[in-house]
Amino acid sequence: MSAAWASALVFLFGLICGSFLNAVVHRLPRGIGLGHPKRSFCPPCGRTLPWYENIPVASWLWLRGRCAGCGARISARYPLIELLTAGLFLWLWSSFPPPLAAAYLILAGILVAGTFIDLEHMILPDSLTLGGAAAGVVLSTLVTGLQPGEDWEARLRSSLFGAGVGFAVLFAVVELGKLAFGRKRIELRPAETFTLQARAEGPYLRLGEDDWDLAELFSRPTDVLEVQTEQGEVWRLGPDGVQRGGRSCDYAAADGWSGVASALVVPREAMGFGDVKFMLTLGAFLGWPGALFSIAAGSIVGAVAGLVLLATGRLEAAGRIPFGPYLAGGALLWIAGGPAVVGWLWLR
């Protein structure tokens, strides 16, 4: 088979895998099984898509970005993921020997899925982070070149050590961030009325004219939002319920409770714990040098992106910035030439 035909097949395979990743990005954070339903469907109307409406990129162009059934808009994210995956697959396949390239294709799929899930939902599911770490350890053990070492035992040790270093370093960053930025006090002048609401989608705090989705404030089970009232009472709102005056109850029982707040103490995280678990995957695939490079490069790119958002006045509108996409970008930069960059910097 000629190199051109091989490249075309790899690109086509990448488009197909990108179509599958679209299903992963949509279903995984929503708790929808990849096999139930088996066929793709339109999220707004639930209509099952025939095969000719599910051809990567081409169907989106043919349908002009609209569902043929209900006319709902189909996000441009779908062809973007398909083309991005195909481009990454083609690059990796043309840059590395087949066994090593195949391992990197799996990592690329995990990075693409994790990036777009984190961008939309600010989470990195365990099935990607922990499942990716398991895949990285297995592939590092079996595939020569993914980790240093001539025998499988040396490669296994390198993979496990890389996963441990990546996890430990980012875990330390999170814990230090909690100490420095873990809580923020907001003085309310004038004081504002508040009401607890137990809605179907989760608990909310109605503060003045604003609705606070409490689930978005809690990154871990120990996080607490304190509401300090004008009467000197402190309400502690946590993931599982409310503590008030020595009494604890869930949000259903506290529905409709109200008062007048003079101050809030809001929990904050340097980053979500999903990012920390994501480093298990990157370390397992790339080893400890690749894991540290991914953190450093991701931090630099993320800082630049934050400055751009700040300069354009979009930082407040963007809210929290997910770190997973920048870690993924750092991992790809390592694969593209990270060892050469580190070697050049070391010699200088």
pTM: 0.78
The C-alpha atoms of residue 25 and residue 188 are separated, in whole angstroms, by 39
DSSP assignments along 61-76, one per residue: HHTTTB-TTT-PBPPT
Q: What does the angle CA 10 – CA 11 – CA 15 come to, to the nearest 5 degrees?
A: 115
234 closest CA partner among 262, 198, 197? 262
Could you list the pLDDT tens digit for every one of the 348 residues in the chain?
A: 677 888 999 999 999 999 999 999 999 888 888 877 888 888 888 888 888 889 999 999 999 999 988 988 999 999 999 999 999 999 999 999 999 999 999 999 999 999 999 998 888 999 999 999 999 999 999 999 999 888 999 999 999 999 999 999 998 887 776 666 666 778 888 889 999 998 888 899 998 888 888 877 776 677 788 999 988 899 999 888 999 888 899 999 989 999 999 998 887 665 667 899 999 999 999 999 999 999 999 999 988 888 887 777 665 544 567 889 999 999 999 999 878 877 776 655
pLDDT of 242 = 92
Per DSSP, helices labelled H in 214-348 are: 273-311, 315-318, 324-347
Q: Among 278, 245, 13, which residue's Cα sits nearest to residue 167?
A: 278
Q: What is the pLDDT of residue 235?
A: 92
pLDDT at 348: 57
Amino acid at 215: A
